[in-house]
């Protein structure tokens, strides 16, 4: 079964002024990411404003990305939704459209027991073919629910198609514990960008990074250094991306990504789905000026 690796890009969802999905810009974004040397596409994730999109809109985004990527890179669709029924519907849809796999965020808002999480993932994994890859996805700072290594081990033991986890909390010990799941064959990707190099150095598969959409050349270079096991260079490149990422994530990272991608001509508007907030005109000006100043400067700390 396919697995995610390298720099996995959780695509933003471009919107038109009337709040509908801008599929034309979404296709340009796919080209931008692929041509930028990044490894995998991950539509409808947190960065894609997933919980603010309808099921129909999420299907449209997934279909557009899978069709337009056309096998050039793997596409894993994030299908976790507000309830189990919608999650299963979106997961089966991902299979139907030819996605390479899915990621499934934990249920959100309401706190579940560990057994409740295990039952949830068993239901989703069994709703798709046994050879269709599924990633667990934990982002406890947003979703309330977390995934422990024991929960991951229990799910992996009963669901052969659950191949790994994307973990978006900066707990390096827990990330290493996930790597021991299923006799050390579990695929582990990190959400916090500053841990990209470190996680890969100890056996992880890569990072899921929204920042990478905006500075793909830096992430492409970092992944090349990691693959070459040139960790002196990788550390310098990691520090460089840390500086750029701090700038993009200072206020509202999703709104900032859209401002940058619009400025580069990749998408047509920087509109985000309400109630999310756009940057103010002054914030946009400051962000672009600082990014333009820092992006191509040699920032090696």
Q: Each residue of 41-65: pLDDT tens digit?
A: 999 999 999 999 999 999 999 999 9
Q: pLDDT at residue 297 above 80?
A: no
CB 187 within 8 A of CB 151: no
Here the tokens at position 250 are 């200072």
**Residue 104 neighbours by CB under 8 Å, 6+ apart:** 78, 79, 80, 87, 91, 121, 124, 134, 135, 136, 137
Sign of CA dihedral 81, 86, 88, 92: negative
* CATH number of the structural domain spanning residue 160: 3.20.20.70
Task: State residue 294's pLDDT score.
Answer: 82
The bridge status of strand 206-208 relative to strand 187-190 is parallel
Domain span holding position 162: 6-229
- Tokens at 273, concatenated: 């789905």
Is 97 within a domain? yes
Catalytic site residue from 68, 135, 137, 219: 137
Task: Determine which one of 42, 68, 135, 166 is catalytic.
Answer: 166
Domain-embedded: residue 264 = no
**Cβ(14)–Cβ(22) under 8 Å?**
yes
Nearest-angstrom CA–CA distance, 223 and 209: 12
Which of 255, 248, 169, 190 lies closest to 216 in space, CA to CA?
248
Active site residue 166: yes
N-terminal to C-terminal alpha carbon distance within the chain: 39
Mean per-residue pLDDT of the chain: 96
Strands 134-138 and 101-105: parallel
Calculate what percentage of the chain has a pLDDT beyond 90: 96
173 within domain boundaries = yes
Any domain includes 245 = no
Angle at which helix 84-96 crosses helix 55-69, to 10 degrees, equals: 20
pLDDT of 286 strictly over 90: yes
pLDDT higher than threshold 60 for residue 249: yes
Domain count, the chain: 1
**What percentage of the chain's residues is helix, strand, coil (to nearest 5)?**
50, 10, 35
Structural domain contains residue 288: no
Q: Is the pLDDT of residue 34 over 90?
A: yes
The answer to whether residue 1 is domain-embedded is no
Judge whether 169 lies within some domain: yes
- Identify whether 122 is a catalytic site residue: no
In angstroms, rounded to a whole number, what is the distance separating the alpha carbons of residues 83 and 68? 28
Cα–Cα distances (Å) from 28 to 12, 31, 35, 43, 68, in that order, read 12, 5, 10, 14, 9
Residue 251, pLDDT score: 87
Report yes or no: 196 and 167 within 8 Å, Cβ to Cβ.
no
Stretch 24-51: mean pLDDT: 98
pLDDT at position 300 is: 44
What are the tens digits of pLDDT across the range 3-17?
Answer: 999 999 999 999 999
176-207 residue pLDDT tens: 999 999 999 999 999 999 999 999 999 999 99
Residue 256 lies in a domain: no
């Amino acid at each position: 079964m396919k697995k995610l690796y390298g720099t996995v890009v959780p695509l933003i969802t471009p919107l038109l002024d009337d709040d509908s999905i801008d599929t034309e810009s979404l296709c340009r974004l796919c080209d931008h990411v692929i041509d930028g040397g990044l490894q995998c596409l991950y539509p409808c994730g947190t960065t894609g404003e997933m919980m603010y999109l309808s099921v129909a809109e999420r299907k449209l985004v997934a279909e557009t990305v899978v069709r337009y990527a056309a096998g050039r890179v793997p596409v894993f669709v994030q299908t976790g939704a507000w309830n189990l029924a919608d999650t299963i519907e979106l997961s089966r849809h991902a299979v139907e459209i030819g996605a390479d796999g899915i990621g499934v965020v934990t249920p959100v808002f309401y706190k579940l027991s560990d057994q409740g999480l295990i039952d949830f993932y068993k239901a989703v994994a069994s709703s798709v073919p046994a050879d269709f890859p599924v990633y667990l996805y934990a982002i406890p700072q947003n979703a309330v629910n977390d995934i422990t290594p024991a929960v991951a081990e229990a799910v992996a033991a009963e669901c052969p198609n659950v191949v790994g986890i994307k973990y978006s909390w900066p707990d390096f010990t827990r990330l290493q514990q996930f790597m021991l799941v299923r006799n050390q064959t579990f695929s582990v990707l990190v959400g916090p960008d500053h841990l990209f190099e470190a996680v890969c150095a100890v056996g992880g598969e890569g990072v899921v990074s929204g920042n990478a959409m905006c500075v793909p050349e830096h992430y492409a270079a970092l992944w090349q250094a990691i693959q070459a096991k040139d960790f002196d260079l990788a550390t310098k490149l990691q520090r460089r991306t840390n500086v750029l990422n701090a700038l993009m994530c200072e206020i509202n990272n999703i709104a900032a990504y859209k401002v940058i991608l619009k400025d580069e001509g990749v998408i047509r508007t920087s509109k985000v789905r309400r109630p999310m907030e756009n940057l103010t005109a002054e914030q946009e000006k400051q962000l672009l000026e600082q990014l333009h100043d820092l992006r191509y400067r040699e920032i090696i700390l």
